[in-house]
Structure 1
Amino acid sequence: MVILLNCAHHVTQRLQKTFVNYGEAMMYSLESCPSPWLRTHSMWGRYTVSFMLIVTQLGFCSVYFMFMADNLQQIVEEARTTSNTCQPRQILVLGPILDIRFYMLSILPFLVLMVLIQNLRVLSIFSTLASVTTLGSMALIFEYIIQGIPHPGNLPLVANWKTFLLFFGAAIFAFEGVGMVLPLKNQMKNPQKFSFVLYLGMSLVISLYICLGTLGYMKFGSDTRASITLNLPNCWLYQSVKLMYSVGIFFTYVLQFHVPAEIIIPFALSHVSESWALFVDLTVRTALVCLTCVLAVLIPRLDLVISLVGSVSSSALALIIPPLLEITTFYSEDISFVTIAKDVLISILGLLGCIFGTYQALYELTQHNFYSRVNFTGGIHV
């Protein structure tokens, strides 16, 4: 994210533009690189980044569908047995009353209404609500998992290499905000302060990920489920935690949806007359939300879809493209050999992780029944 931010800032200064998005930064950087072939095909750099952003953000939205449906299903179907006493959750659970896809479809109309909001400043209000509900629920999750943590001596020190490949995708999935970095900066009243906001935000997020992942695994061990909220006790307090977290994800969905909408909708509107603009706008937004729902319905496996989305597209946007973007942006300005070597190494590692992580996630998906309700462990979830 920092590399992307620096490159975009450099491009805007060089071209004397107010702002550029991710795709434009890639295109303008290729236009100034020494290779004639890359300069000629610079537009394809923009197309590639735009395509990867669409795939990534819609993949995130599909994962959010699964997350909300998983938690909503557990809340609704355990309501009759929910008590005021918070005891550790039993591993054996009765079969679902309603299929998980029913809960996905029940969420769909509300998300369709939410994505009709187009102003990012208005969406920032929902972002604040999402942050408040998420932090509140995380505080209660921490309060529970730090109690009575078993001795970690029985936990394996290292997982097998197949699990590591899935972990790579899940970890890179954490870079889900990479597509929102430049749009948020461009909408800020004081964009020059964005670097401080980014560093502070990333520091807090990294700390929370490390603490929650470590403590959660120490608490639940191999029984850790695809979302740690599904490990919480069946009592009203922690059922409310799942509800708050789901509300936070609901509002976050709208923010993540903003990126592909801003890429696809202007393209669609350019092919219709002004009288059809509103109809096409609403239709495209509705169709994209329905697409994310369909993807979630077809593959209702939260853990593996997280790994797959992370490996396929997040690795490209977070690890492969930014280092290459830095080389093309600063190559004509005497970029150091150490920086070039660092960028090439990061891109190669990202490419290898993309290839092997994608293969392992697809292999795991083929080994299970897509139409069964599964929330199993993997040791990679936080």
Structure 2
Amino acid sequence: MDNEKKFQECRDTENGTKERDLQHATSDIGALLHIVKSSLGAGVLAMPFAFKNAGLLIGVIGSIFIGITVTHCTTLLVDSTQKLRKIFNRTNMTYADTVECAFIHGYKGKLKHHAFKARYMVNFFLFFTYYGVLIYYVLIISSTFKQITEEYFKISIDIRIYIAFLTLVLYPTSIIRFLKYLVPFSAVANICLMVALGMIFLQLFKDLPPLNSRPALQMPNQWPLFIATCFTSMEGIGTILPLENEMKNPLHLIHSSRLLYIGMVFSVFVNLFVGFFGYLKYGNDVAGVISLNLPEDWISECVKATVGLTVLLTYGLQMAAPMEVVWGELSKTKKKQNNLHYYILRSILIIGTIIIAILMPSIAGIIGVIGSLGFSMLGIFIPALIDLIYHSDDQSILRQIKNVCLLLFALFCAIVGFYYSVIQLIQDI
């Protein structure tokens, strides 16, 4: 396939020139709620562990810095997408569409040859990252119910047994294909998370030790795990373009109403709050998920059960991202695809998360790998690369320097964070 044909395919995709379906479009309030939900999920429960690897002072400064960086790079992605959509006469664009069209458009078309490679790179990191999140969810659920069971029945069973038996509960709720049938699950999950966080806050403020009882900063070789955990907790870039595509007023996302900034400020504040006081409360004894540190009383047990239920109900919704990547690529290679093929593939992916979690049952290690390699590339490196390429003809020196710094920072986080996360995984196996 020659370059001109590739260029034409990028321009003339299905429904590319039709108006948006305003009847089913998302309102500004709905979009704001989705932004908060995507950037404030189960990862917030790991923020005290992040502070454990940074210290109180570095934790606060680092959380704010990462929050600003994540928000800025998400803005770059949305802004580039909206501009490229006009150039290529598109109504909707995915993350992979954006990077592909940026390579075709930038540097006067000199990067056309690499457009499809860039698309595959984005799809790889989308699958790797969000499939990793699913494994993280499996470990949270299993660890939570293992602790509850052991506290009540006074028995000790390897967590791998809990992970295996989790399949019986996870599979029926995760095999559902259409998102509209998962709306009740998502609604209950949001309520459960808010209730759990409220009850956790009440526990954190009981008998808090003085600030000087915890270190202000940890050794720099621990910071990569802090950065990786922060990325996992605050990042929601994989869902931002699907949301922008369904908004009634997409320009309100980063212009006018600035919904992205409002949602991210709230998310960063909650993450920082939980991380700071969680580490202040439990110190070096803090677990990979803060709910596991709660005392053995009926209120704490309710919180743990609520957290486990929250993650369980969210698993099926999160499966949509890796399924979209894999199913979309398979649909291009095969002319005929039916429901049976879809459900077989979805079943394989579900069972795959169980198997990987059994082989690597480390919450801290898994979240480190996801954050360092996945979210640093998706959330920082690729948006900065898109902006650098899109503005290749009119970019100022300062903008170029800023984008290059973001690229280098993302690579540093990916390489160093991945290295230390793998060490953590090996130690915990």
Worse overlay, 349-358 or 127-136 = 127-136
Give the TM-score of the pair, scaled to structure 1.
Answer: 0.87
Worse overlay, 339-348 or 245-254 = 245-254
Identity of aligned residues (%): 26
**Structure 2 residues not aligned, in runs of 5+:** 1-73
The 5 A counterparts of 1:23-42 are: 23-34=96-107, 37-42=110-115
RMSD of aligned alpha carbons: 1.9
Return the offset for 1:143: 0.8
Q: Which residue of 2 aligns with 1:300?
A: 361
1:177 and 2:208 equivalent? no
Return the offset for 1:240: 0.9
The separation in 1 between residues aligned to 2:308 and 2:244, in whole angstroms, is: 26
Q: Choose from 374, 386, 389 the match for 1:325.
A: 386
Q: Choose from 193, 198, 201 the match for 2:260.
A: 198
The separation in 2 between residues aligned to 1:200 and 1:251, in whole angstroms, is: 26
SS in 2 for 1:33: helix
Return the offset for 1:312: 1.5
1:361 and 2:421 equivalent? yes
Return the offset for 1:102: 1.8
Return the offset for 1:124: 4.2
Worse overlay, 260-269 or 45-54 = 260-269
Distance 1:188 1:355, change over 3 A: same
Q: Deviations over 1:80-123 (max 9, x none)?
A: 47xxxxxxxxxxxxxx5222112212222333333333334444
Return the offset for 1:174: 2.0
Aligned AA for 1:243? A
Paired residue total: 353
Aligned AA for 2:138? F
Q: Which residue of 2 aligns with 1:187?
A: 246
Return the offset for 1:74: 0.8
Return the offset for 1:351: 0.4
**Structure 1 residues not aligned, in runs of 5+:** 82-95, 371-382
1:309 and 2:367 equivalent? no
The separation in 1 between residues aligned to 2:335 and 2:76, in whole angstroms, is: 39
Distance 1:329 1:114, change over 3 A: farther
Return the offset for 1:193: 4.3
1:53 and 2:53 equivalent? no
The separation in 2 between residues aligned to 1:12 and 1:124, in whole angstroms, is: 29
Q: Which residue of 2 aligns with 1:86?
A: none
Whether the aligned pair in 1 keeps the contact of 2:85 and 2:92 (CA below 8 Å) is: yes
Q: Which residue of 1 aligns with 2:47?
A: none
1:247 and 2:309 equivalent? yes
1:21 and 2:83 equivalent? no
SS in 1 for 2:391: helix
Q: Which residue of 2 aligns with 1:129?
A: 188
Distance 1:15 1:369, change over 3 A: closer
The separation in 1 between residues aligned to 2:357 and 2:382, in whole angstroms, is: 27
Whether the aligned pair in 2 keeps the contact of 1:269 and 1:281 (CA below 8 Å) is: no
Whether the aligned pair in 1 keeps the contact of 2:175 and 2:316 (CA below 8 Å) is: no
Q: Choose from 208, 215, 218 the match for 1:149.
A: 208
Aligned AA for 2:286? T
Distance 1:176 1:58, change over 3 A: farther
Q: Choose from 102, 118, 122 the match for 2:161.
A: 102
The separation in 1 between residues aligned to 2:285 and 2:122, in whole angstroms, is: 38
Aligned AA for 1:289? I
Return the offset for 1:177: 1.8
The separation in 2 between residues aligned to 1:198 and 1:359, in whole angstroms, is: 32
Return the offset for 1:170: 1.2
Whether the aligned pair in 2 keeps the contact of 1:112 and 1:285 (CA below 8 Å) is: no
The separation in 1 between residues aligned to 2:305 and 2:147, in whole angstroms, is: 10
SS in 1 for 2:376: helix
1:168 and 2:227 equivalent? yes
